[in-house]
Amino acid sequence: MQELLRRYVDWLLERRTTLSSVRSHLKILAPFWSWCEQRGIRSPEEVQASLVNDYLMTLYWQWRCSLCQSTMELEPSDRSIPRMCVNCRAIGSFTKERRYAQNTVRECRAKLLVFFDWLKINRMVVANPVQRKTPAPSPTIQHYPPEVIRQLCRYITAPDADPVEALVLYLIIFHALSVWELQHVEIPTILTLRKDIQQPGLAEAYYVIVPKPAPSLGDRSPGRPDVRLDFPVKAASWLRPLLDRYECHRQQLVSNQRNRYLFITSSTAHRNVPVGHVFIWKTVRDASIRLLDAACNPNILRKTAGVMFADQAGAGVLRWMGWDDQQAFAYAWAPREVIQPQQLDGSQDAHSRPGVEPITFPSPKQKTRKNDSGLSNYLKTTKRT
């Protein structure tokens, strides 16, 4: 299978598939073939439609022990409740719970379909065994309750807040920056004719540069109308001190003066490369755990900002902040689901509300770009080919 997957990767790269998408394909195919090997299936021609259906079923559900919280994979051929937990030896402690979200299962199914289509094109299988449809979930917009945002905003404006955490939270909540944008946002640079002229500091310039990602097969959105993101004048009383504190922190880390990325780590300080997405997720998670005793994630925070801006200024304003037309106006009609930040034990309380409680929130100064989550149109393009 390794040699077969190498050929598949070469085919994906020939189609100009991005490296992140290739990695996503392999992350889905590797556990699938490991699961097949446990059942004695070691070649593509042995895979039947029933086997794929069973695998998708294991993605939907799993067993969890109520005592030790360990999990056990669901066996599609035997759906009876396991009698004893192999970890803590408790009897009758298992309950059935959802394993992955519907969209995650859809993504797995879509990439398996593409892989077996490639095998069929190269005459390594007679028919594509991925036959079962995975319906899309009803469109809902998940967001955090207003009290969560209030607590995070109090932390952002606090003079003793960690400057890295506060600035990341500020850019997500007040300007709806996506994880990709946070990775690639740059500090202002002014081209001067004399070397003795210093570059302005963050607080002095009072704006950042948010570059646009290169278009791909699944993302042709024009993004934000302007790469320059100006900070609101009304926030200067607390935002300028935050920018000064962050710039002092950054200067202590940076060793390559040509590194223009706003956020840096000890591993990127001496190079001119962006931080990884794990840094952004970890920063948001650590800050929210300390403040709320529960973990927020940047994607839901961005959607929460979108909900607040849409309620205050109308859904059309989101087009200036990076959402495309269809996504932006969905905030005006799609059902909303209020979820709580994830507890440290992994649980997440969620309940639906018909609307969101109105809160005081500044109107957007300008612009921002599309979240790079969501399924691409890659499968449709492959089917046409």
- The Cα-based distances of 213 to 226, 303, 332 in angstroms read 13, 20, 27
Task: For residues 118 and 167, state if they share a domain.
Answer: no
Average pLDDT over every residue of 214-229: 73
Task: For residues 258 and 239, state if they share a domain.
Answer: yes
Does 360 reside within a domain?
no
CATH number of the domain at 286, please. 1.10.443
Closest of 167, 336, 133 to residue 248, by C-alpha? 167
**Alpha helices (H) in the chain, listed in sequence order:** 2-14, 19-38, 49-60, 102-121, 146-157, 163-175, 179-184, 202-205, 236-253, 277-292, 298-313, 325-333, 378-384
pLDDT beyond 70 at 383: no
pLDDT beyond 80 at 29: yes
Amino acid at 59: L
Does 231 reside within a domain?
yes
Residue 112 phi/psi, 5° resolution?
-65, -40
Rounded Cα gap, residues 110 and 114, in angstroms:
6
Task: For residues 259 and 119, state if they share a domain.
Answer: no
Amino acid at 218: G
201 confidence band (pLDDT: 50, 70, 90): confident
Question: Both tokens of residue 214?
Answer: 């290169």
Task: For residues 97 and 153, state if they share a domain.
Answer: no
Sign of the dihedral through C-alpha 252, 253, 254, 259: negative
Average pLDDT over every residue of 379-384: 40
Cβ–Cβ < 8 Å for 141, 323: no
Three-state secondary structure call for residue 193: coil
Does 181 reside within a domain?
yes
Task: For residues 182 and 329, state if they share a domain.
Answer: yes
Cβ–Cβ < 8 Å for 115, 1: no
pLDDT beyond 50 at 384: no
Task: For residues 39 and 147, state if they share a domain.
Answer: no
Does 375 reside within a domain?
no
Task: For residues 104 and 210, state if they share a domain.
Answer: no
pLDDT digits (tens, 9 = 90+) for 284-297: 999 999 999 999 99
Average pLDDT over the chain reads 83
Task: For residues 17 and 146, state if they share a domain.
Answer: no
pLDDT, greater one: 346 or 116: 116
Average pLDDT over every residue of 148-168: 95
pLDDT of residue 355: 35
Share of the chain above pLDDT 90, in %: 51
310-320: buried (b, 16+ CB within 10 Å) or exposed (e) per residue? Answer: bbeeebebbbb
Three-state secondary structure call for residue 154: helix
Rounded Cα gap, residues 46 and 1, in angstroms:
13
Cβ–Cβ < 8 Å for 349, 339: yes
Residues in contact with 264: Cβ distance below 8 Å, sequence separation at least 6, in sequence order: 250, 253, 254, 275
Closest of 128, 107, 105 to residue 56, by C-alpha? 105
Task: For residues 338 and 209, state if they share a domain.
Answer: yes
Does 151 reside within a domain?
yes
Residue 144: exposure state from Cβ atoms within 10 A (0-12, 13-18, ≥19):
buried
pLDDT beyond 90 at 103: no
pLDDT of residue 84: 84
Domain boundary among 137, 166, 187: 137
pLDDT digits (tens, 9 = 90+) for 320-345: 888 888 888 889 888 999 999 988 76
pLDDT of residue 358: 35
Question: Both tokens of residue 59?
Answer: 């993605």
Which pTM was predicted?
0.67
Does 383 reside within a domain?
no
For residue 62, what are the domain limits? 2-137
Rounded Cα gap, residues 151 and 161, in angstroms:
12
pLDDT beyond 60 at 367: no
Task: For residues 131 and 205, state if they share a domain.
Answer: no
Count structural domains, the chain: 2
Q: Got the DSSP string for 315-377? A: GGGGGGGT--HHHHHHHHHS-EEEEPPEETTS---EEEESS------PPP-S--PPPS-S--S
Does 59 reside within a domain?
yes
Cβ–Cβ < 8 Å for 353, 338: yes
Question: Both tokens of residue 97?
Answer: 């719970």
pLDDT digits (tens, 9 = 90+) for 224-237: 888 999 999 999 99
Q: Order the strands of the 61-65 sheet from edge to edge.
A: 71-73, 61-65, 94-98
pLDDT, greater one: 152 or 381: 152
Average pLDDT over every residue of 103-121: 93
Does 340 reside within a domain?
yes
Task: For residues 152 and 254, state if they share a domain.
Answer: yes
Element housing 143 (H / E): strand 141-143
Task: For residues 145 and 132, state if they share a domain.
Answer: no
Share of the chain above pLDDT 70, in %: 85
pLDDT of residue 362: 36
